[in-house]
Chains A and B, each alone.
Chain A
Amino acid sequence: MAVNRMFRTCPSTGLLYHEPAEKLIRWNAVAGVVSLLIGGILALLVTSTRWQAIHLLSPDWFYLVLTAHGLNMLVFWIIFFEIAVLYFCASTLLRCRLAAPGMAWLAFVLMVAGAIVNNYSVTRGDSSVMFTSYAPMGAHPTFYLGLILFAVGALIACFVFFGTLVVARSERTYNGSVPLVTFGAVTAAIIAVFTIASGAIILIPTFLWSIGLVDYIDSLMYRTVWWAFGHSSQQINVAAHVSVWYAIAAIVFGAKPMSEKVSRTAFLLYICFLQLASAHHLLADPGLTSNWKIFNTSYAMYLAVLASMVHGLTVPGAIEVAQREKGFNNGLFEWLRKAPWGNPSFSAMFISLIGFGFLGGISGVMMGTEQLNLIIHNTIYVPGHFHATVVIGTTLAFMGLTYFLIPTLFRRQLMFPGMAKWQPYVFGLGMCGFSLFMMGAGTLGVPRRHWDISFAGNALGYEFPGTAWLMMGLMGAFGLAAIVGGTMYLLITVGSVFLGKRIETPGFAHVRAKDGVAPAPQPVAVAITSHGSNIGTAGFVAPGTFSLAIVFLVAFVLYYFVNWKYLSTVWPLS
């Protein structure tokens, strides 16, 4: 089969799209958005049930819908979109043909089939086992089969990504090192391979158990290995959305990383240490020692937290430096005030960064502290945390990237640009409130995955304090606001892609790489200095970002010790 070497150049961004890669990126992104649509409808049902003033669904439907919501959002939406991001980072950013498009299509078909099979099993009604499907609670065999098919597809897609890197290297489509964003995507893909391998180790035996070929699945073994899959899959998101932050900073501001060395080392720390975080989920379990728990859940002395704190500084720092060099050099925050707040790519990225750091990051460290976990484990604090990381962090960053991709990748004008301007604020702030009030209710002991915290008709029920009820009500209200924001995103995206005005380019053609593609620029070998000293204050090129970082640190330290104080008041345990 002849290799397709046809490319097109995007007239507005100058990006180079390989013909098959472009189709694959589009289809993976579309499959992601379809999953988001399904998950979003389910989110509405879940929220309106847990907001007990409405209490919409019956218990069997609630647990079914919650299971499907988790899977469509955490697995299908995010992984489909991530595969699109991987292909974009390898093929488009490296100006390289995608390796083995046929395999990439096979991957896509497997993933779609897996998603459909898994959703089918949940709708049967006998597989309401939640995203986590903890054995010995069993689901229908198709539940595991769907996940396995999906994972095999995703694994193939990762190897298409790695293959593309090899092709780019051998065909010399770039010189020097890969871009930082691609480096971040490599990080995500490496973590993905680890994740999928762990998933195979636990889901294949569980599948065999569900059809009767394996007798017994130990519950602690299941949780230990399953979380190497379940938590690590969320670490793919972290690496992917941090890459998207860098990409949006580069696209909107032309921002250059403050230091390639620092940012790449931070990604390297993710590869080495982030997966240890899986152990966070086992802090309240018997049978594992404190030494094991402390080492693993601190990600080996918090080296992965350090990496996130570094990215949290260097992304806005890079924006600040770019803005200051453009002349917005007055005071601490002129660069931020004069940022394009009406550009949804930027506002989505910035809210994602702040929400991920302040809400998701800090709460994640709390839950991951061995002793503090005792007062948090399995309360609604936990979904509060991961809606801050996965929804505000990952989903909102991907939404921001979508606004960039629609004109360049789908060659359609954005529909409803006025609505797009507001979408990140409605969705982002809705989700921030939603997460925050979940955490508040969790601090008061409200359990997660629970149909009725009023314990109606139960002689032994517990009466939660009024504040907890208030928090759950506010959670519901903010959740609905976020759903409005999500609906806006879906309207804009689906509308633009299918009905948006086509961007016509005169003389548009796909051209062969040899004929139409300029050679990759050669990096220069000059002496390297740090940034010019003509910006910033007191030798700090990004003083505004630094002061924001200090605000973050103060919030982090205070909240950390508040939690220890709270822990010290509960019954002594040993």
Chain B
Amino acid sequence: MSAISSPSERVWWKQPLDRVEGTWIAIAFIWCLIMFFMMPYWHVYGKQNLSNEAYRTTPEAFTAKTTAMVEKYKVREETDQKIPVVHPPAGSDVYLIARLWQWYPMLELEEGKTYRLHLASMDWLHGFSLQPENINIEVHPNYEHVVTLTPTKAGTYSIICNEYCGINHHTMASRLYVVKPK
């Protein structure tokens, strides 16, 4: 009988496996294991892994740290809104605020240097999306996510928001400059 009727044999579980099914299950299972072990493998040998380092924070605490960084390392201001551009020293802690509907401040990093980028939202969820690298990280309010990253090539990059955050979501964009070390 077919799949919409009860199995015609009472002890259907004793039917031996067809060769075609057995072979496919074996192949598919091996492939599944390869895919599984690929993830731990990349943690050991790969270079692109999302950081597990995160802390609870508050908008006030995170703003205070960001403001301190801006005061110390501001190099110029851009656009009519006078958004500060900061050039923090290589290896330092860099703070980026996500809020409705702006990234603050703008960052200028050096090629080939490693930074600890702290991400947090002041209000709703936002999506850190670095283009054209296409690195995408969720940004939460009250969580401070510390991502260690190394820009590999000088140029002007964009940070857009790719987590829907209300009516002006599509206006939330900023830049990230990568310059050659002096």
Contacts and interface: CB of A to CB of B under 8 A. Distances in A.
A377 B127 CA distance: 9
B137 A301 contact: no
Interface in A231-284: 246-247, 249-251, 254-263, 282-284
Contacts of A523: 6-10
Contacts of B11: 525, 528
User: Contact size class for B?
Assistant: 35 or more
Nearest to A523: B10
B162 A379 contact: yes
A543 B18 CA distance: 11
A310 B49 contact: no
Contacts of B152: 571-572
B39 A524 contact: no
Given A218-B142, A260-B13, A460 B174 contact: yes
Contacts of B154: none
Interface in A405-462: 443-445, 447-453, 455, 458-462
Contacts of A377: 127, 136-138, 162
A445 B167 CA distance: 21
Interface string A30-66: 0000000000000000000000000000011001000
A330 interface: no
B170 interface: yes
B164 A63 contact: yes
Contacts of B173: 455, 458, 460-462
B145 interface: yes
A504 interface: no
Given A175-B6, A219-B141, A543-B20, A137 B165 contact: yes
Contact of A302 (B32, B140, B141): B32
Interface string B32-66: 11011011101100111111101000000000000
A347 interface: no
A200 interface: no
A445 B18 contact: no
Contacts of A570: 48, 133-135
B21 A447 contact: no
A309 B30 CA distance: 12
A520 B28 CA distance: 38
B131 interface: yes
A284 B7 CA distance: 45
Interface residues of A, number: 117
A374 B47 contact: no
Contact of B170 (A305, A310, A450, A524): A450
A568 B163 CA distance: 24
A444 B134 CA distance: 7
Interface string A512-543: 00000000110111101111000010011111
Contacts of B20: 258, 313, 317, 536, 540-543, 545-546
Contacts of B182: none
Nearest to A130: B164
Contacts of A458: 171, 173
A180 interface: yes
B154 to A, nearest CB: 12
Contacts of A286: 54, 119, 138, 140, 143-145
Contacts of B38: 369, 564
A180 B166 contact: no
B2 A572 contact: no
A530 B48 contact: no
A298 B39 contact: yes
Given A219-B125, A462-B173, A570-B134, A447 B54 contact: no
Nearest to B132: A445
B133 A285 contact: no
B10 A176 contact: yes
B138 A284 contact: yes
B68 interface: no
A309 B27 CA distance: 10
A270 B53 CA distance: 33
B12 A181 contact: no
Given A177-B7, A571-B133, A310 B18 contact: no
A136 B17 CA distance: 52
B51 A573 contact: yes
Contacts of B19: 539-541
Contacts of B143: 219-220, 286-287
A505 interface: no
B78 to A, nearest CB: 8
A477 interface: no
Nearest to A294: B39
Nearest to B16: A530
Interface string A123-166: 00000101000101100000000000000000000000000000
A232 B49 CA distance: 26
Contacts of A447: 127, 129, 160-162
Interface string A201-222: 0000000000000000011100
Contacts of A302: 32-33, 35-36
Interface string A286-308: 11111000100010011101100
A541 B4 contact: no
22 contacts: A134-B125, A219-B141, A223-B125, A256-B2, A261-B15, A283-B50, A302-B33, A317-B20, A369-B39, A375-B135, A376-B136, A379-B134, A445-B129, A445-B131, A459-B79, A530-B17, A564-B38, A567-B48, A570-B48, A570-B133, A571-B133, A573-B48
**Shortest 5 CB-CB contacts between residues of A and residues of B:** A286-B145, A462-B158, A447-B162, A302-B32, A250-B2
